[in-house]
Structure 1
Amino acid sequence: MTALFGGLWGFMAIAEAVMVQETHALDEALLLALRNPTDPRDPLGPPWLEEVARDLTALGSVGVLALVTVGALVYLLLARRARAAGFTAVAVGGGMLLTNLLKLGFGRPRPDLVPHEAVVYTASFPSGHAMMAAITYLTLAAMLSRIERRWHIKAYLLLVAVCVTVVVGVSRIYLGVHWPTDVLAGWAVGAAWAALCWLIARGVQRK
């Protein structure tokens, strides 16, 4: 419940600040902090780091998330957890729909302060990669942990989901395709959606 309301409050606070442009100076400063001071076109670090960032950011792409979700659904079906599989599919699919609706509603332009190091097609706020990574990986971790009795395995699944979600969001800022507040908002609303789905699934299971 704390994650749900905390995520919603965080998203609304960030969205309000973005709409009145209170975060613009901070967004610019953080974005430039990850660039070569003498050449904003060059991200900090060696060339291989930029390539690694592209690889990591793909963990939040539609194609990779679809493959991961399908793999988890097949596992749940093989484990005779058809209801959990169906609920997971609805949760991830609904999260994708919510992401697109929020992007259309806010319509924030992408950063033009530095060159984009990855191809982008949609609006900037909230970050779709950050939001869908939070929704997908946290939801899958929650569903898979429900069929695992050992607490340390449950904790490991959640830790991996959180780490992947954080890495995806940071990579979007590093590649210059999102403002930092886009990513923060994506994490907040994505975590809130995952928490809501988990609470509903737990309630249905108890009944």
Structure 2
Amino acid sequence: MIHLKHHLTRIASVAEKRVWLTALVAALVAYFLFELTGEVLEGETRAFDEGVLLMLRDATDPAMPAGPAWLTKMMVDITALGGVTVLALLVTLVVIYLALRRKFRTAAFVTVSILGGWALSSALKLGIARPRPEVVQHLVEVTDMSFPSGHAMLSAITYLTLGAMLSRLEDRPSLRYFFPLVAVFLTFIIGLSRIYLGVHYPTDVLGGWAAGTVWACGSWFVARWMLGSPSGR
């Protein structure tokens, strides 16, 4: 009995530390996003942004990307993982999976959380209204505004939220960490692809990552409050 109480106390302590760590990360990233947005609006990041984009192009022809042809094709394929079509399909499949496992509250929460994040992304783009980069040729077609990067933000919101929710369903530590790590990796390479393809400034991607991370952290907090422990859903 004493051993059980000690074990439960240790679990509670680890959970509390995780909550505070997540809160700290969210606060720091939110502050970074606020400062970055201010710098972008004032035009302070333009030299850095354009320098990075030009560095990724042929020195004699800014229309030609640096590196072999297969790298460009790979970046086009990777960037599709952050598109609305792929993300919507992925969310739909995960929600169906959760429903089949009779995790109806979790399925509903995932749907509302991700759709809310997507709406926020659109609102930020319209509110800030930063034009797309013009210093290099775009390697894929784009139509909307530039800051924050929708692909970076939506992939952070979607993959990080799904990673956090799926990890709650697992008992084994290896699988609990696997889903968030995969989410971070996918979010990272999708953001890099947007810079390489010349459709976003680096600060657009940083802003998208930051906004998506803050939203995902907030979703994690709300999930703990609304859904309780995994065993209770």
Bin of the TM-score, shorter chain as denominator length: over 0.9
Q: CA deviation at 1:9?
A: 1.0
In the TM superposition, 1:97-116 aligns within 5 A as 97-116=119-138
The whole-number CA distance in structure 2 between the counterparts of 1:190 and 1:60 is 12
1:40 is paired with a residue whose SS is strand
Is the 8 Å Cα contact of residues 130 and 146 (structure 2) preserved in structure 1? yes
In the TM superposition, 1:34-45 aligns within 5 A as 34-45=56-67
1:59 matches 2:78: no
Q: CA deviation at 1:149?
A: 0.8
Is the 8 Å Cα contact of residues 6 and 192 (structure 1) preserved in structure 2? no
Q: Deviations over 1:124-171 (max 9, x none)?
A: 000000000000000000000111011111111111000000000000
1:200 corresponds to which of 207, 222, 227: 222
Structure 1 unmatched ranges of 5 or more? none
The answer for the alignment partner of 2:34 in structure 1 is 12
Q: Which runs of 4+ in 1 moved over 2 A?
A: none
1:158 matches 2:184: no
The whole-number CA distance in structure 2 between the counterparts of 1:176 and 1:52 is 14
Is the 8 Å Cα contact of residues 105 and 227 (structure 2) preserved in structure 1? no
Tell me the percent identity: 48
1:149 is paired with a residue whose SS is coil
TM-score, normalising length: structure 2? 0.87
The whole-number CA distance in structure 1 between the counterparts of 2:114 and 2:226 is 18
Q: CA deviation at 1:4?
A: 1.8
Structure 2 unmatched ranges of 5 or more? 1-22
In the TM superposition, 1:163-202 aligns within 5 A as 163-202=185-224
Q: CA deviation at 1:7?
A: 2.1
TM-score, normalising length: structure 1? 0.98
The whole-number CA distance in structure 1 between the counterparts of 2:114 and 2:227 is 19
The whole-number CA distance in structure 2 between the counterparts of 1:10 and 1:60 is 23
Is the 8 Å Cα contact of residues 106 and 227 (structure 2) preserved in structure 1? no
Mark the structure with the bigger radius of gyration. 2
Q: Deviations over 1:78-99 (max 9, x none)?
A: 1111000000000110011000
1:60 is paired with a residue whose SS is coil
1:67 is paired with a residue whose SS is helix
The answer for the alignment partner of 1:117 in structure 2 is 139
